[in-house]
Amino acid sequence: MFAARLVIVVCLLLAFSYILSSYKSIQLVFHPDRYHGNQVSNGIFFEGWYYKLVLNEYENTIVAIPGVSMNDDKRFSFIMVAYNNNSHYFRFPYEAFSSTEEEFLATIDNEKNIFSYEKLIVNLEPKDDDDASESFQMNLTLSSHLSIPDLSLLSPGTMGPVSWIPTIQCNHHVLSMKYDIQGSIQINQDEKLSVTGIGYLEKDWGYSFPSLWIWGQANQWKDLPSTSSASLFFSFASIPWHFNLKLPGFLIVFEYNHQFYRFNSYLQSIINNLSVNNETNQLSFTVYDVLFEHKLHVSTYCDECEHMSSALLYGPRNGGMEKFVHEILGRNIYFNVRLSKLIPNETLNRDSDDLFIQHGYYEEILFQERAHNTALEITGDVNWLTEQFRKEYENVYPWNFSLIRSNQVSNGIFFEGWYYKLVLNEYENTIIAIPGVSMNDDKRFSFIMIAYNNNSHYFRFPYEAFSSTEEQFLATVDNEKNIFSYEKLIVNLQPNDEDDASESFQMNLTLSSHLSIPDLSVIAPATMGPFTWIPTMQCYHHVLSMKYDIQGSIQIDQNEKLSVTGIGYLEKDWGYSFPSLWIWGQANQWKNLPSTSSASLFFSFASIPWHFNIKFPGFLIVFEYNHQFYRFNSYLQSIINDLSVNNQTNQLSFTVYDVLFQHKLHVSTYCDESEYVSNALLYGPRNGGMEKFVHEILGRNIYFDVQLSKIFKNETLNGDSDDPFVQHGYYEEILFQERAVSIALEITGDVNWLTEELRKTYENVYPWNFSLIRSLIQYYKLIITSIISVIIIWLFLVKYR
């Protein structure tokens, strides 16, 4: 008990220490406009504010960028001015830069240069060590700022929730989409001019610019009435991540009459047809919000694009400031911008070249104008960006299923099926019944598949023959001749010419005494737990009943109708396709288990595809013994050890531990090599339809050997043992050890990839190796309840200080 209290006290002290030490850093998340460099004592860091000034009295746009650059003790501040396709870089000692912590206010060189929301004052004369050839004096008043409001407390700034990630290479924030300018400017010995105009203000900070990006901005329009307002900002970039990964991301904000339309990767927006050429500066893209309610199209227009000139600016790279950023401050380049509202109707037009019109959508144009005085940067091998976005979004349309957009599927690719496994005392072979639907736009149908005696029988029906209720699980096919629910399974099937079936089936079964897996919590419902909430999963899986009793009658073909009893299993899958590779198994009947006991097993390993061609292994394993459920799932940080599989011989073996190494489950197949293990070839969802490719063993001659153990730690080490657990003083108490019969097993695809990925992930994970997550989980209730209240109070203090 003393140890538990000590751990809690230590964790609380660490939490308070982190809060106190990080107070200013986290406060800056809510105030990204302020100077962040005060928190940087050494290392590589840069920070800069970008003022774009479009003045009525000057033909060319002026850009002013104050900032700092740090690389350990190599520190300096700078001011860069870009004008007339030339950049002028003025360098100052780091100590010449100062800022306030309470607001955005930065000064350089004894306040000769002042930068804030309200003022921009510049007094710059080129020195020998500057890369500058002109002098600048500016005294400008900035007013009527148009700022992008935060989405929420958890999603502040332009980058939203990404703002909280402390290791981002480059942070970006738009301070003002538009502001008014008034004051005076003198360049060199030219006449000092009183000026008015429109500006834009943003900032970047971090340790380097990305390796490649596209950025653009506009807030002035050729024919927009003066009573209206519109502003545009967009940025596409390669985002480096841990383990040498890099991800494409984008931030797009369009403002029209003070209404903000956000199209960001963290909001699940969809990029379509990004086309870019950094030789000719031609750019075009279309973006949709996640619900496909609004569409924004942007493209460049220019006269003689090949002669388009740009200013070469300094930017942060390789731990310093290098002159490599090409920025077009558009005299001859324009943005054509169109914002539309998408409205679905019932009229389809298959003759149109437009996919949206084909599927019954039309556009209501809300805004259509040409922007001038734009700014555009295209840097690096942006072809990588276009290709990554193409792969990610090429099949994402409102008529393709996405759980985040709707709980109903009006069109697109989708499947759903319920899997009934029936082990009957009166039949030697297991029977499988699977009702379901398959959709691919207007190619829709329902089906019932029966697997029996190593053969599958696939009965196809019109989609309209399928019906279901919204209040409960109850599905019917073919005018209620076939009924599927928790309570009943009624089948009346005769093969037709278009069916892949050779036998008829009549079943009238009553199902009872269901054993369901309880939800972990509201946050982790169903079998997949928190993954259930992810809207873009390829395939969702849920076990409806680990075990149930069967009673009723069955007749196959012209054979005698039999009264039957038995044990069943029920699950379902839905989404747009089965995985490319998986292992799945199930058992709930045992060779020597007493009738007074109960045991059930379900396991699934699969390759889970993710965005940007990333895939990772995942697993779901549930073992029930006497109505106690032991969960070993990847989302619960369980540990897989020694997964071995051969899809030629159907040999399978694995060991799994819970995150605290309190329980161990070992499963292996056993089959008599003298007996042939046959399988049924089933239909499954793939390539937008139902294909016959799933090999399922419905085991007559194959078994699962299952052992569940409780793991204890003692003080006796045994270095002579081959078992690393015994070597480190652990021993097992066996809770369950039996052989399962009438099992089901599927091994599909190149499962060697699964074994290798799981080996690399878990090969060094043992209880004697330190794991912070295990230490915290042991006392999580006391720790979390103590810390959460402190953090909530502290966040509000930071936000509203």
Q: For residue 501, give every residue at least 6 positions away whose Cβ sits within 8 Å of its Cβ, in sequence order, or none.
A: 450, 457, 458, 459, 493, 495
Strands 689-698 and 744-748, bridge-based pairing: antiparallel
Neighbours of 531 (CB within 10 A): 18
Q: Phi, psi (5° rounding) for residue 95? A: -65, -15
- H/E stretch holding 24 reads helix 23-30
**Identity of residue 784:** I
- H/E stretch holding 439 reads strand 431-440
The yes-or-no verdict on residue 16 having pLDDT over 70 is no
Q: Which position has the higher pLDDT, 652 or 782?
A: 652
Q: What does the block give as tokens for 453?
A: 């005696």
The yes-or-no verdict on residue 535 having pLDDT over 80 is no
Give me the residue label for tokens 């990847």.
634
Q: Which of 52-56, 330-334, 564-568 has the lowest mean pLDDT?
A: 330-334
Sheet containing strand 730-741, strands side by side: 589-590, 730-741, 702-713, 663-671, 651-657, 639-646
Q: Which of 31-35, 503-507, 535-539, 757-761 has the lowest mean pLDDT?
A: 535-539
Determine the pLDDT at residue 405.
Answer: 46
**Identity of residue 728:** H
- Please, are residues 522 and 532 in contact by the beta-carbon 8 Å criterion? no
Q: What does the block give as tokens for 61?
A: 């746009």
Determine the pLDDT at residue 23.
Answer: 53
Angle between helix 23-30 and helix 780-799 axes, rounded to 10 deg: 60
Place 11 in a pLDDT band, splitting at 50, 70 and 90: low
Place 404 in a pLDDT band, splitting at 50, 70 and 90: very low
Determine the pLDDT at residue 96.
Answer: 96
Q: What does the block give as tokens for 356?
A: 């949206």
Sheet containing strand 246-256, strands side by side: 259-264, 246-256, 230-240, 213-218, 375-379, 320-329, 311-317
Angle between helix 2-21 and helix 23-30 axes, rounded to 10 deg: 60
Angle between helix 2-21 and helix 780-799 axes, rounded to 10 deg: 20
Sign of the C-alpha dihedral computed for residues 330, 385, 80 and 38 taken in this order: positive
The yes-or-no verdict on residue 5 having pLDDT over 60 is no
Determine the pLDDT at residue 17.
Answer: 56
Place 792 in a pLDDT band, splitting at 50, 70 and 90: low
Q: Which position has the higher pLDDT, 347 or 401?
A: 347
- Please, are residues 422 and 456 in contact by the beta-carbon 8 Å criterion? no
Give me the residue label for tokens 């400008």.
140
Neighbours of 380 (CB within 10 A): 17
Determine the pLDDT at residue 102.
Answer: 86
- Please, are residues 52 and 201 in contact by the beta-carbon 8 Å criterion? yes
Interatomic CA distance for residues 32 and 176, integer angstroms: 12
Q: Which of 223-227, 260-264, 646-650, 783-787 has the lowest mean pLDDT?
A: 783-787
Neighbours of 64 (CB within 10 A): 24
Give me the residue label for tokens 């940080």.
637
Mean pLDDT to the nearest integer, 246-271 = 93
Strands 639-646 and 651-657, bridge-based pairing: antiparallel
Q: pLDDT digits over 408-418, tens only? A: 555 678 899 99
Give me the residue label for tokens 């549930």.
622
Determine the pLDDT at residue 321.
Answer: 95
* Mean pLDDT across the chain: 88
Q: By three-state DSSP, how is residue 645 classified?
A: strand
Determine the pLDDT at residue 69.
Answer: 95
Determine the pLDDT at residue 2.
Answer: 47
Specify the DSSP class assigned to residue 243: T
Torsion of CA 84, 89, 95, 98, to 10 degrees: 20
Q: DSSP letters of 164-214?
A: G-TT-SEEEEEEEEEEEEEEEEEETTSPPEEEEEEEEEEEEEES---SSEE
Which residues does residue 202 pair with via DSSP β-bridges, in sequence order? 50, 174
- Please, are residues 576 and 413 in contact by the beta-carbon 8 Å criterion? yes
Place 407 in a pLDDT band, splitting at 50, 70 and 90: very low
**Which segments of 658-726 are extended strands (E)?**
663-671, 680-686, 689-698, 702-713
The yes-or-no verdict on residue 641 having pLDDT over 70 is yes
Nearest CA among 50, 60, 173, 46 for reference residue 115? 50
Residue 444, judged by CB atoms within 10 A of its CB (0-12, 13-18, 19+), counts as: middle
Interatomic CA distance for residues 427 and 188, integer angstroms: 98
Report, in angstroms and rounded to the nearest whole number, the Rg of the chain calculated over CA atoms: 33
Q: Phi, psi (5° rounding) for residue 762? A: -115, 5
The yes-or-no verdict on residue 550 having pLDDT over 70 is yes
Distance set, CA 547 to CA 53, 123, 213, 374, 574 (Å): 71, 81, 55, 66, 21
Nearest CA among 787, 799, 796 for reference residue 29? 799
Q: Which position has the higher pLDDT, 729 or 309?
A: 729
Q: Which position has the higher pLDDT, 542 or 774?
A: 542
Q: Which position has the higher pLDDT, 653 or 304?
A: 653
Determine the pLDDT at residue 246.
Answer: 84
The yes-or-no verdict on residue 306 having pLDDT over 60 is no
Q: pLDDT digits over 463-504, tens only? A: 999 999 888 999 999 999 999 999 999 999 999 999 999 999
Mean pLDDT to the nearest integer, 522-530 = 87
Q: pLDDT digits over 751-769, tens only? A: 999 999 999 888 888 887 7
Q: pLDDT digits over 657-706, tens only? A: 999 899 999 999 998 765 667 789 999 999 889 999 999 998 778 999 99
| Percent of the chain predicted with pLDDT > 70 | 89
Q: For residue 101, give every residue at least 6 positions away whose Cβ sits within 8 Å of its Cβ, in sequence order, or none.
A: 24, 34, 35, 38
Give me the residue label for tokens 């039999």.
562
Give me the residue label for tokens 């003066």.
226
Q: What does the block give as tokens for 145?
A: 């700022």
Determine the pLDDT at residue 676.
Answer: 65
Q: What does the block give as tokens for 711?
A: 């793991």
Interatomic CA distance for residues 123 and 110, integer angstroms: 11
The yes-or-no verdict on residue 58 having pLDDT over 90 is no
Interatomic CA distance for residues 225 and 589, integer angstroms: 76
Neighbours of 176 (CB within 10 A): 21
